[in-house]
Amino acid sequence: MKPPGLPPQLVSLARSIFEDCTQCRACQVRCAFLREHGTPKDLAGQLLGGSTGIARAFECSLCGLCHATCPMSFPLPEFFLAMRRAALENQVASLAPYRSLLNYEAVGASALFRLVALPPGGDTVLFPGCTFPGAHPRTALALYRHLRGADPAIGLVLGCCFKPSHDLGRRNFFESRFGTLRATLLARGVRTVITACPNCFKVFNLYGDGLAVRSVLAVLEETPLQGRTPVRGAAIMHTPCPLRFEKEEREIALRLACESGLEVERTRQGGTLAPCCGEGGTVGALRPDYADAWTKDVEKSAKGRVIIAVCAGCVKFISRRTPVVHLLDLIFFPQAALDGTLPKPKGIAAYVHRLRLKWRVWLENRPRPTRG
């Protein structure tokens, strides 16, 4: 029997987990959420039995660590995301705790912050995302200039990929807003999007039908910076959840980090078994204890070494507990990145830097009046 109000996709996922989960508990060992709420089989059984506990999926970070450890390879993040969507559709969960994040998303997608700048003849754009250009303004500009130096036809698109809404289960909203962004890019002639944020990389890969996606790290490996001064020290990579199953992207990040001169050790933190930085799924809004525990895991695995991250969100979150360096900062400003002397604007200052980037790029790309 199908529990009332639950979509068929969720019920079918729950059935397969309920029937085939062996209760081996490999997923529970690494996850505070599953340790508290039960194995996926327990949760699927409760759902199929008509339990109203689907809103608890907002306490799961959608990090995918359980999927990486499960011998049955259950798509558990999809299961919990489907529960989030169903919880909103059935009005048993509220978006009130996420107001500030949703406002942040709305501002990033607003006309004031949006920009599509594509040089004549170009079909490729850098999409730096929301957090990176505001929190790492010097690097964002240097990155854009470097890519333009290698290929003057590369443009820039400022906007939001709507990953926060996606992960909060706002399915219709996400599909409508991301669909509009995708249609706008295609109509303007964009065919390839170069993402600087792993979350944007994932969203464009999953939903950017008709748009090819490349990570900026892959592009940088093909167009390396010349004359970089090597730095010294021991470091480890932190893998962001969206790249957990993207082996090639992880390897590129590791090679670029090693090229800085740092001794970068391969650890589980840099592979498929990386712990979430604590920001995933906006869990901290409901369960700051889980978020803190996951960030502590990251800090613990570093054992005093420099942590290198490739996601501005991870950098922001981890830096609340321990020093962390964004790989793009390390590539463009190695010593300053390690010394912590690069500006790292927060709050209003970060918004101002996003507008400054927009203004500079708009000026560079504006149509020039022809003489005569």
**Chain contacts with ligand SF4 (rule: CB under 6 A):** 21-27, 31, 33-34, 39-41, 60-66, 69-72, 74, 76-77, 80
Give CA–CA dist 96/17, Å, rounded: 31
> Closest separation between CB of residue 285 and ligand SF4, Å?
14
The first and second tokens of residue 209, run together, are 């039908």
By beta-carbon proximity to ligand SF4, the closer residue of 24 and 142 is 24
The first and second tokens of residue 197, run together, are 């944020």
The first and second tokens of residue 343, run together, are 């500006």
By beta-carbon proximity to ligand SF4, the closer residue of 255 and 300 is 300
The first and second tokens of residue 175, run together, are 């599909």
Helix ranges (DSSP H) in 21-64: 26-29, 32-37, 40-48
Contacts of 285 (CB under 8 A, 6+ apart): 97, 98, 101
> Closest separation between CB of residue 273 and ligand SF4, Å?
10
> Closest separation between CB of residue 130 and ligand SF4, Å?
23
By beta-carbon proximity to ligand SF4, the closer residue of 74 and 333 is 74
Coil/strand/helix, residue 60: coil
Buried b / exposed e over 17-45, threshold 16 CB at 10 Å, is bbeebeeeeebbebbbbbeebbbbbbbbb
CB atoms within 10 A of CB 290: 22
> Closest separation between CB of residue 79 and ligand SF4, Å?
9
By beta-carbon proximity to ligand SF4, the closer residue of 191 and 300 is 300
Long-range contacts of 171-178 (CB under 8 A, 24+ apart): 171/85, 175/207, 177/109, 178/203, 178/207
> Closest separation between CB of residue 73 and ligand SF4, Å?
8
Nearest to 282 by CA among 130, 91, 98: 98
> Closest separation between CB of residue 355 and ligand SF4, Å?
35
> Closest separation between CB of residue 368 and ligand SF4, Å?
51
By beta-carbon proximity to ligand SF4, the closer residue of 116 and 283 is 283
> Closest separation between CB of residue 184 and ligand SF4, Å?
32
> Closest separation between CB of residue 294 and ligand SF4, Å?
8
**Residue 57 corresponds to which amino acid?**
A
By beta-carbon proximity to ligand SF4, the closer residue of 83 and 252 is 83
Give CA angle at 141 (138, 142), nearest 5°: 80
> Closest separation between CB of residue 291 and ligand SF4, Å?
10
The first and second tokens of residue 278, run together, are 């604590």
Distance in angstroms between the alpha carbons of the first and the last residue of the chain: 77
By beta-carbon proximity to ligand SF4, the closer residue of 77 and 334 is 77
Q: What DSSP assignment string belongs to 230-281?
A: P---EEEEE--GGGTT-HHHHHHHHHHHHHTT-EEE--GGGSTTPPP-S-GG
By beta-carbon proximity to ligand SF4, the closer residue of 26 and 186 is 26
By beta-carbon proximity to ligand SF4, the closer residue of 63 and 262 is 63
By beta-carbon proximity to ligand SF4, the closer residue of 41 and 353 is 41
* Paired sense of beta strands 124-127 and 192-195, if any: parallel
